Structure 1
Amino acid sequence: MKALVYDSSGVDQFEVGWNEFITNNGLVNNDWLCSLYEERHLWVPCYLRNKFWAGMSTTQRSEGMNAFFDGFINSSISLQQFVVQYDNALRQKAEKEFEADFASVNTIVPCGSQSLIERQFQLHYTHAKFGEIHNEFRAKINYFVMNVVKDGSIWNYNVKEDFLWNGKRANKFHDVLFDSITTTIKCSCLLFEFRGILCRHCFLVLGQEDIDCVPEQYVLRRWSKNVRKRHTLMKAAYSRSSDDPQMQRF
């Protein structure tokens, strides 16, 4: 079921796989699975990939909160201690953000290739987001162009992915549409639409087309190292001095 949910490349593949999964395991009358299927458009990734989620998944909220408070609070602390520790957690989070921003502006993460496109993202993106781009470039080694079909200015690339599944070789296929006039590109995996970064399939095709620079629409300002976060302009308890007379009187 996990493979069906997270590895389905499209809605049609999920629908066929779900019917086989239910039938082969004798789960046709399972009320819980039936209710899940009725709400599939709310939780199955292939139904959500055309919406921008900035890389957030359904489980990351709880995992992020647990990591955020790790080392600060536990089930035995009092309410008063919780308020103090919550303030300390916010302070540490803000300090880490300032350190990351300083590193992004004043240091450089080396590229893993000689691609000018990778250098374009290196120049604009924060270290954390450029790390994701860097991983997509590294992953290109397992992808190959199998077929190309031209329709006017649109080139349809069929890209094959080789990977291991249960110790055996397996493969997937993705369709990448490239406009040779506007140099716009779109992949069937919809990673850019879902997470806001171009996928390895697109980078493979752009390299094949000898493109040196992607259009500005694919370099999102939200990931830029030069953007000042608005929440840093807001006053917070951790940014005030504990020696403030009014606070001590309170």
Structure 2
Amino acid sequence: MNNKTPISVVTNGDKAMSAAIKSVFLESRHRLCVWHLDRNAFANLPNIEAYESFITCMVRYVTPDEFEDMWKKMVNKHNLNNHEWLHEMYAKKKKWAKAYMRGHFFSRCRSTQRCEAMNEFFNRYVNRKTRLYQLFQQVDRALTCIRHNEMGVDFSSNYTKPILISKLVKIEKQAANILTREMFSRVQEEIMNEQTFIVLDSTESEGYRTYTLTQYECPDSKWEVVYYPKDQHMKCSCLLFESYGYPYAHLFAIMKAEHLK
């Protein structure tokens, strides 16, 4: 990899692997697999209510301060102040709590299941009875299948046009031109969700404008989007763009307010 370390690493929590990642991949963000955490929580916590509260703390997209508040309420409600496994998990919270993953790109990976899916795929072609001379032929067949599927989705992205459904036609059309079909379908959904957001206020500062947004039927929810007109750059307090790699409805709401195309 030319000494380029990965941005993000997801593992099952193996202690030796964690130590190696901390030592070798100094700039990488290490995340623990949510599937393994789910199983461990179910096995270690005393009852289903405590387990569900833990899972809520793990997956809720909140700020670190809100997470700390949720955690304290969970510990007190279920009388878990002296629970050894829970103390151990709290010490590792920055590796599994979604609140501490905000703004870091994991390409929507939360578990090691992508590796398991690849293992399952190759199991269709090789097994313990496969002889060594057959192995390379079978792996080549598997790769041919993967490449064929990849060519199909590439063709769809390059030579077909999706149906545009929003009134922000120019924005949606550009998204259709530059994104793969799978990614465009996600972005198109966010463009449609934009109409549920309301601009409450905007303030002008030197070099940028700050917009405050709320959502229809959720008046207590607030987001702030900072927009820099000079380079048309914007950043939302939700950090979803930084986390998942594509713009969310908050940003499209500001694009509409600024008449961007």
Give yes or no for TM over 0.5: yes
Match of 1:95 among 138, 141, 148: 148
How far apart, CA to CA, are the structure 1 residues paired with 2:96 and 2:125? 31
Aligned-residue offset at 1:59: 4.8
CA offsets per residue over residues 1-47 of structure 1, 9 Å max, x none?
33333223211111111111111221111111111111111122222
Superposition CA RMSD, Å: 2.7
- Equivalent residue runs for 1:75-154 within 5 Å: 77-80=127-130, 83=135, 86-115=139-168, 116-154=170-208
SS at match of 1:19: helix
1:66 deviates by 6.4
Structure 1 gaps, min length 5:
164-168, 213-250
Question: Distance in 2 between the 1:161 and 1:34 partners?
Answer: 36
Change (3 A) 1:48 1:184: same
Name the residue aligned to 1:238: none
User: Identical aligned pairs, as a percentage?
Assistant: 25
C-alpha separation between the residues in 2 aligned to 1:73 and 1:29? 49
Give the distance between the partners of 2:61 and 2:155, measured in 1 at CA.
40
Is 1:158 paired with 2:212? yes
- Once the two structures are superposed, the pairs formed by residues 157-176 of structure 1 within 5 Å of their partners are 157-162=211-216, 172-176=221-225
TM-score in terms of structure 1 length: 0.71
Instruction: Tell me the residue number matched to 1:14.
Output: 67
Spell out structure 1 runs of 4+ moving beyond 6 A: none
C-alpha contact (below 8 Å) 2:57/2:97 kept by paired residues: no
Q: Give TM-score, length-normalised by structure 2.
A: 0.68
Query: Is it true that 1:44 corresponds to 2:97 in the alignment?
Result: yes
Change (3 A) 1:18 1:132: same
1:46 to 1:59, Cα distance in 2 relative to 1, 3 A: farther
Match for residue 82 of structure 2 among 26, 29, 42: 29
User: Secondary structure at 1:202's aligned position in 2?
Assistant: helix
State how far apart, in whole Å, the 1-side matches of 2:224 and 2:68 are: 19
Q: Which sections of structure 2, spanning at least 5 residues, go unmatched? A: 1-53
- Tell me the equivalent position of 1:219: none
* Greater RCO structure (CA 8 Å; 6+ sep): 1
Cα 1:73–1:16 change in 2 (3 A) is: farther
Confirm or deny: 8 A CA contact 1:43 1:58 kept in the other structure: no
Deviates more, 1:80-89 or 1:180-189: 80-89
| Separation in structure 1 between the aligned mates of residue 233 and residue 249 of structure 2, nearest angstrom | 15
1:160-219 C-alpha deviation (Å, 9 max, x unpaired)? 2357xxxxx78532221112333210011212212211111011111111111xxxxxxx
Cα separation, partners in 2 of 1:191 and 1:37, compared to 1, 3 Å: same
Matches within 5 A, 1:210-225: 210-212=259-261
Q: Deviation per CA, 1:104-151, whole angstroms, max 9, x where unpaired? A: 111111222232222111111111111121111122233222332332
